[in-house]
Amino acid sequence: MGVSTYDPLSKEQQDLFVRFRNVFELSYRRYLDIEKAIAQTREAEIELALAR
């Protein structure tokens, strides 16, 4: 993530940007975890179907 401005950011703006980045990072990490879980579930269903 980045920010572009002609004026320097205040400490408050920097802190807010860091918080936003951290929340975005956590949200994306959770999204990847869910995608991985979905793929694993799909694989397990295929394995179960083949075992029958």
Q: pLDDT tens digits for 17-27?
A: 999 999 999 99
In a domain, 3, yes or no: no
In a domain, 5, yes or no: no
- Rounded to whole angstroms, the Cα distance separating 22 from 16 reads 10
SS3 call for 32: helix
In a domain, 17, yes or no: yes
Query: Which regions of the chain are under pLDDT 70?
Result: none
In a domain, 4, yes or no: no
User: In terms of residue numbers, what domain contains 29?
Assistant: 10-52
What is the pLDDT at residue 33? 99
What is the pLDDT at residue 3? 82
pTM: predicted TM-score of the whole model, two decimal places = 0.71
Counted domains in the chain: 1
Sequence letter at residue 3: V
Q: Which of 37, 14, 33 is nearest to 25 (CA)?
A: 33
What is the pLDDT at residue 10? 96
